[in-house]
């Protein structure tokens, strides 16, 4: 087989940046599907010719060109045959820093100045074809959240705006949106992803509930940063700083959506925003098919974050009711994540970044005290006194309140 193999994309980029090796993607030039199969490669590509290496399991794709034929990221006609050159394949890629190839002997092929842009810390599109695939907008925003010292080239910013204006963003399917959002949320500074989406107008199309938070004021005595959108980004970056899991980061993103619907005449106060936030978070979850663990924690945090913040004012019985509403007795791990999200909320405020958050440790300890109650014994004793279902539940609640009171 006269084929030539090249590593392309993120693995080359990350190696040049001195970052840990990522999964390697390969392009093969001068071959056919039949030749690869004969050599033991296993075909897996549904939309274009992709194969798994028989020994390493790494993905190998035939060099190909693409022609836009319909809206959305699937609207392409693929052409792959031995005549397609490496340079033609690299031309269809999104960013210059992702359009560098490395031959098996280590030689770099960089026709679009990717190494120059790596040194200059710039995210720049390869060609005008960038606007043909709306997923590229999301991917660029995600990379900005990972490479926090990179800027977006002005001409690329203009293409992002064109993608939105031409309606390509509206053709995105939920699976791809969630895939990119969830990956971006786990990057070093996730707020950068949303800042870029907002600047080009994509956030208003994808997450209008979030986009409308910018410009909405909050009381400065509680929120020195004042702006609700700015606060949400501070909370999100605090979640990244505390290395929170995806569920917590999604809850942080969703927790204050209701503040965007507060009537103007009552601003800067936001009475009842918790319930409105929960409703809006559920609508977002439905639109983008957010996985249940993320949507459930977002709902819980939206509804209860105010009560968790104020829980030092609660007596023992009120603490137990809060724990019950949070389903903390059945799902203590999820409650721990809710407490972490609330810490991010409390510390995601200008000047509060390094302040302690006592409710997290306090409520975790009170939950353990309440869980120490032998509920089977309490239920049996209540039943022996003739109590029925609701009375037995009340007896358990009272016993837990006594345990919390003792711990307080």
Residues in the annotated binding site for CTP: 10, 13, 93, 139, 142
Interatomic CA distance for residues 381 and 301, integer angstroms: 35
Q: Which residues contact 207 (CB under 8 A, 6 or more apart)?
A: 197, 284
Q: Which residues contact 126 (CB under 8 A, 6 or more apart)?
A: 90, 91, 92, 93, 94, 95, 96, 99, 112
* Nearest CA-CA partner of 393 in 326, 332, 300, 321: 321
Residues in the annotated binding site for Mg(2+): 23, 25
Residues in the annotated binding site: 10, 13, 23, 25, 93, 139, 142
Q: CA dist 299 to 120, 250, 334, 336, 359, Å? A: 42, 10, 12, 15, 19
Cis-peptide into 34, omega within 30 deg: no
Residues in the annotated binding site for ATP: 10, 13, 93, 139, 142
Q: Which residues contact 138 (CB under 8 A, 6 or more apart)?
A: 172, 176, 177, 180, 181, 184, 197, 202
For tokens 């199309």, the residue is 205
Angle, CA 395 vertex, CA 389 and CA 399 arms, to 5°: 145
* Nearest CA-CA partner of 82 in 28, 8, 9, 5: 28
Interatomic CA distance for residues 309 and 256, integer angstroms: 14
> What is the end-to-end Cα distance of the chain in Å, rounded?
75
């Amino acid at each position: 087989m006269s084929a030539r193999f090249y590593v392309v994309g993120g693995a080359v980029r990350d190696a040049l940046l001195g970052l840990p090796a990522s999964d390697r993607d390969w392009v093969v030039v001068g071959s056919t599907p039949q030749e690869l199969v004969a050599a033991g490669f296993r075909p897996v590509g549904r939309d274009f010719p992709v194969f798994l290496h028989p020994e390493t399991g790494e993905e190998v794709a035939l060099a190909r060109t693409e022609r836009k034929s319909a809206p959305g990221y699937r609207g392409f006609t693929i052409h792959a045959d031995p005549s397609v050159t490496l340079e033609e394949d690299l031309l269809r890629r999104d960013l210059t820093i992702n359009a560098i190839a490395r031959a098996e002997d280590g030689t770099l092929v960089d026709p679009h100045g990717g190494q120059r842009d790596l040194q200059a810390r710039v995210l720049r599109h390869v060609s005008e074809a960038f606007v043909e695939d709306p997923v590229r907008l999301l991917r660029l925003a995600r990379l900005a959240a990972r490479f926090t010292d990179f800027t977006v080239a002005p001409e690329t910013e203009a293409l992002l705006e064109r993608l939105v204006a031409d309606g390509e963003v509206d053709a995105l399917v939920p699976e791809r949106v969630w895939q990119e959002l969830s990956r971006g949320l786990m990057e070093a500074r996730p707020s950068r992803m949303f800042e870029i989406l907002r600047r080009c107008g994509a956030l208003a199309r994808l997450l209008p509930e979030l986009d409308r938070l910018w410009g909405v004021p909050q009381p400065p005595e509680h929120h020195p940063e004042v702006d609700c959108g700015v606060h949400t980004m501070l909370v999100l970056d605090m979640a990244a700083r505390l290395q929170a899991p995806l569920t917590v980061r999604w809850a942080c993103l969703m927790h204050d959506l209701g503040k965007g619907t507060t009537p103007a005449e009552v601003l800067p106060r936001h009475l009842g925003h918790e319930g409105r936030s929960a409703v809006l978070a559920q609508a977002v979850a439905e639109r983008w098919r957010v996985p249940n663990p993320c949507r459930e924690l977002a709902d819980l945090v939206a509804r209860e974050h105010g009560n968790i913040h104020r829980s030092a004012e609660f007596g023992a019985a009120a603490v137990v009711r809060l724990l019950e509403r949070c389903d903390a007795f059945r799902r203590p791990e999820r409650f721990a994540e809710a407490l972490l999200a609330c810490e991010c909320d409390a510390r995601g405020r200008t000047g509060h970044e390094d302040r302690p958050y006592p409710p997290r440790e306090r409520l975790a300890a009170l939950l353990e005290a309440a869980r120490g109650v032998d509920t089977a014994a309490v239920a049996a004793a209540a039943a022996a006194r003739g109590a029925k279902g609701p009375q037995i539940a009340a007896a358990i609640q009272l016993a837990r309140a006594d345990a919390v009171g003792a711990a307080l």
